[in-house]
A and B are shown apart, each in its own frame.
Chain A
Amino acid sequence: MSAAGELDDVECRELSRLAKKSLRKSYMSSTKTQTGAAPAQACWNCNAVAGGGHFCAACGKIQPLADGADYFAFFGLPQKLKIDEAGLEQRFHQLSWKLHPDNFVKASEFERNLALERSSELNDAYRTLREPVLRVEYLLLREGVRKEGTTKQQAPPELLEEVFELNESLDELRTARNDGGDLSGLRVRLGEAQKNFQEKLEEIDAELLHVFSEWDKSVDAGADDNERRKQMAKLNEVLNRRSYIRNLVRNVAQELEA
């Protein structure tokens, strides 16, 4: 049939699953912090200023996460979108080793629980920040710029038109395949369309990196809320366009392989 949907919910939504999951976590309060850094807190054990890290600088005990701490703060990073990925990975390994529940078998229940919780958060935080697209989606979800059900369609009309037409060709290919018809012409057409959309995807990824830098600059400059909103709207707009194109590239690839 022409309403060519899949009854199953698909993979693309997986992309934002992690970020959304993290938002539901109770420790993620909606407090906004300009830098993503947690404010200094007193250590529960020795009362020294714990420094906002995972462990107290004075006595070394594991600390609860500060209110408003986000994944960036988790790794001691500012809320910037360009990340040194090798450094992040290294920090991840260090932390997973330090936070490993095995290190806490003799500790109090309070500390054991902190370590357990923190270890699983660590994995989510790492998996989210590691991928540029998940990273920016996370930032926008957390700042309330991206929300389920409330976003108005923002893709440019010409893009929607192209997306729709390509979907129609995909549909034709499926029908022709089922009827045992001649597929060669259609395949050539789709192959070309795929190349075209693949190029578009690369262009848009470059554009995304560019808006990442713009965002980072405004973080460095301590931009006001207005400016931040403007930048986030731009990030959101690029992400939306990317999402259409990525879906298409994937669908076409699937059909051509089928």
Chain B
Amino acid sequence: MAYSDKVIEHYNNPRNVGSLDKKDPNVGTGLVGAPECGDVMKLQMKINPDTRVIEEAKFKTFGCGSAIASSSLATEWVRGKTVEEALSIKNTDIVRELSLPPVKIHCSVLAEDAIKAAISDWKKKAGEGDPAAQTSAAQAHS
């Protein structure tokens, strides 16, 4: 299938590949998977507890080109944003930015889910549980 130039660019030069210490209380980890294809994505963020700004983001994705590009883009987008701002990122924003075709929408959903899961994990560590965060936190790991 044909990938857009932006997908190919992220695929060839993924930003922020790697991992952060998941034991660090300021690090939130989101591990999610797409049942459609069996791909998995891990996204981690280091969050400043005072400013709630995401200072660092890393990802590691085992999946298709679109999933890699979506997570790479997600790490770029969340850096420098507050937790609340990052939570407002929608998979449709990613679809638009990367011009993903309909069959690749689930790859972008994965990235949105990973952002949410990482933030819930961080909130859980920080003792901020809201009921919605609790459910998705089940997907993340501490």
Contact = CB atoms under 8 A, between A and B. Distances in A.
B62 to A, nearest CB: 4
A12 interface: yes
Interface residues of A, number: 36
B119 to A, nearest CB: 16
B68 A5 contact: yes
B78 to A, nearest CB: 17
B64 A10 contact: yes
A149 B31 contact: no
Contacts of B71: 3
A9 to B, nearest CB: 5
Contacts of B109: 149-150
A67 to B, nearest CB: 26
Nearest to A149: B105
What is the size category of the interface that chain B forms with chain A? 35 or more
Given A5-B67, A149-B102, A246 B35 contact: no
Interface of B: 1, 3, 8, 11, 14, 17-18, 31-40, 42, 59-65, 67-68, 71-72, 102-103, 105-106, 109-110, 113, 138-141
Contact of B33 (A1, A6, A163): A163
Given A149-B109, A152-B113, A155-B33, 5 more contacts: A3-B11, A6-B65, A10-B64, A151-B36, A153-B33
Given A12-B38, A157-B141, A5 B65 contact: yes
B31 A164 contact: yes
A82 B59 CA distance: 42
Contacts of B3: 7
Given A167-B40, A167-B62, A3 B35 contact: no
Contacts of B42: 164
Contacts of B36: 13, 16, 148, 151, 243
A4 interface: yes
Contacts of A245: 38
Given A2-B60, A5-B68, A248-B38, A161 B141 contact: yes
Task: List the 6 shortest-distance A-B pairs measured between CB atoms, nearest first.
Answer: A247-B38, A240-B35, A149-B105, A167-B62, A243-B38, A244-B38
A12 B68 CA distance: 18
Nearest to A236: B35
Contacts of A6: 64-65
